[in-house]
């Protein structure tokens, strides 16, 4: 396995719409494994393929705390699509590995049902609630070239993007 580079704003690849995965092979499995390793090292709870420069519809998520003794809750979704979303919504203070150190409250459906494929090419469904639902919706946005800041008012979005630019200048 290998750690992959996580792209950050303003990389234009983060705004691309990803193509569906059509080949379920060892390359896809390795990509998923590398994405999990990269996500854990970051550390994060979700990662979408375009965040590592791969413009394919693939995401990984694990909302477990990774405390000693807690079992991982790994999810790998290929070509995911939301087939149902609750009317009830839930606010969550979201962050993103592609917008380091930036957070804002985003309101999303509290529950979703997602149809997807496994890396082996088998169709499956997942009913996600709470943080997992938020995480999956956040990562699915990446597959369509959207970022969590796109759910904010223009003023809040611009403020976060300015803070990110300042943060990045401080890192150089």
* Residues labelled as active-site residues: 139
| List of residues 6+ apart from 132 with CB closer than 8 A | 61, 63, 73, 75
As a whole number of angstroms, the distance between CA 46 and CA 171 comes to 23
Q: Is 31 helix (H, G, I), strand (E, B) or coil?
A: helix
Which tokens hold the place of 10?
A: 């303003």
> If 0-12 CB within 10 Å is exposed, 13-18 middle and 19+ buried, where does residue 95 land?
middle
């Amino acid at each position: 396995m290998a750690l992959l580079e996580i792209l950050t704003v303003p990389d234009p690849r983060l705004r691309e719409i990803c193509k569906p995965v059509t080949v379920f092979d060892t390359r896809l499995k390795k990509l998923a494994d590398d994405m999990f390793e990269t996500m854990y090292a970051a550390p994060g709870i979700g990662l979408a393929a375009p965040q590592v420069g791969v413009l394919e519809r693939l995401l990984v998520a694990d909302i477990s705390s990774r405390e000693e003794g807690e079992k991982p809750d790994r999810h790998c979704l290929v070509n995911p699509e939301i087939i149902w979303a609750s009317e009830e919504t839930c606010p969550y203070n979201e962050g993103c590995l592609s917008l380091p150190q930036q957070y804002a409250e985003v309101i999303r459906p509290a529950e979703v049902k997602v149809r997807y494929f496994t890396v082996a090419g088998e169709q499956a469904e997942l009913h996600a609630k709470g943080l997992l639902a938020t995480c999956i919706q956040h990562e699915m946005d990446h597959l369509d070239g959207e970022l969590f800041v796109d759910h904010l008012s223009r003023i809040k979005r611009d403020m976060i993007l300015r803070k990110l630019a300042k943060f990045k200048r401080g890192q150089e």
